[in-house]
Amino acid sequence: MTAQREDVTELPGMETPVLGPTGRPLTDFPVPPKIKSHGPARIIALCNQKGGVGKTTTAINLGASFAEYGRRTLVVDFDPQGALSAGLGVPTHDAVTVYDLLLGTVKDVSSAIVPTATENLDVIPANIDLSAAEVHLVNEVAREQILARVLRQVADRYDVILIDCQPSLGLLTVNALTAAHGVLIPLECEYFALRGVALLVETVDKVRDRLNPAIKLDGILATMYDPRTLHSREVLERVVEAFSDECLEELGREHAAPRHRIGRLTDVEANTQRISRVLQRACGSCQVAVHVPSGLCWKLVPS
C-alpha cells in the first residue's frame, strides 16, 4: 500500500520565515524615505583593533549607500595608512588632513573636507602624518575629546558621519569612540579576529562609563564570510552565541574575485551603483552597498 503525500498549504500570515546565515529570520526593511532637511549627524565609529577585517571597505560601502539614499555623509579617514582616502580617490599629499585639525594648525574644518565624485559623499583625508598625532596629543587637556570638538563644527551639515579607525585601541581610537553615538565592529569570520572582540567591547564599555555615556554598540558585522568553509560557519556560530542580537543579519561575503580591482574605484566614482558593484565583486566585505541600504541604514540611522 502506497502512502499518499498530502499537500500542505501555508495559511496567510503563517509562512515559514526565511532564515539567514546567523540562523535567525531575515528582517524585511523598507527603503529609507527621502528627507527634506539635513542634520544633525549621527556619528558612527567603525572599530576593530585587528587589521584586515574590512573596516575601510565597510566604511566606503556604508558611505556610498547612505549617499545613494540622499543622506549627506562625511567619512573621516582616521587611519595613518590612508586606505579610505585612497579608496575614494582623494589625494593626501600636501593636503589638509585630519592630523592638521587635531593639532589645531588648521582651525576651519571645512578646509579639510574634500567632496568625492559621488553626490552627498565627502571625506576628511588622512596620511602617514597621523601616526605622530598620539605623541603630540598626549599632554593636551581633554585629549580624548579633540575629535569630538572638531566634528561638532560640521555635524549640523550632515546626516551621517562615519569614522574609519586605525587597527589599535590607542588614543586615536578612544577619540573616535568619544565622538561617536554608536560603534560598528566589522569582524572577519576567522578565529584570531574573534579573540579580540571581547577586549574591544570592554573598551567601549569603559569609554561609555568615563567619557561618552551616549555611545552604544550598533552591532557586530561579520565580514569575509565564506559559507563553503566549516571554519567561517563555526566562527559565525560562535559570534551569534556570544553576542546574540548584537550580531547583525547582514554579512560581508568572501568572493573569489581579485582584490586588486579596488584600485580602479576612481574610474567609476561618478556612479554610486557601479561603485557598489565593483566593491562587491572585489573586496569580500561588501554585501553592504547592495543589501545594507534597507538593513544597516535603518539600524544605524533610523529615519
pLDDT in tens, 56-78: 988 998 898 889 888 999 999 99
- Would the pLDDT of 21 be above 80? no
> In this model, does residue 258 exceed pLDDT 50?
no
Asked, for residue 13, whether it belongs to a domain, the answer is no
Per the model's pLDDT, the better-predicted residue between 137 and 9 turns out to be 137
In a 10 Å sphere around its CB, with 0-12 CB exposed, 13-18 middle and 19+ buried, how is residue 24 labelled?
Answer: middle
Kindly state whether residue 27 falls inside one of the protein's structural domains. Answer: no
At residue 282 the predicted structure's pLDDT band, cuts being 50, 70 and 90, is very low
Residue 31 lies in a domain: no
Where does the pLDDT of residue 285 fall: very low under 50, low under 70, confident under 90, or very high at 90 and above?
A: very low
Question: What percentage of the chain exceeds 70 in pLDDT?
Answer: 76
Instruction: Count up the domains in the chain and report the number.
Output: 1
**Is the pTM for the entire model greater than 0.75?**
yes
Quick check: is 4 in a domain?
A: no
Residue 21 lies in a domain: no
Q: Tell me the CA end-to-end span of the chain in Å, nearest whole number.
A: 60
Q: Which CATH number covers residue 189?
A: 3.40.50.300
Domain hosting 183: range is 42-300
Rounded-to-integer distance, Cα 92 and Cα 209, Å: 36
Whether 6 maps to a domain, the answer reads no
Note whether residue 283 is domain-resident.
Answer: yes
In a domain, 206, yes or no: yes
**Least-confidence region, from 25-29, 89-93, 177-181:** 25-29
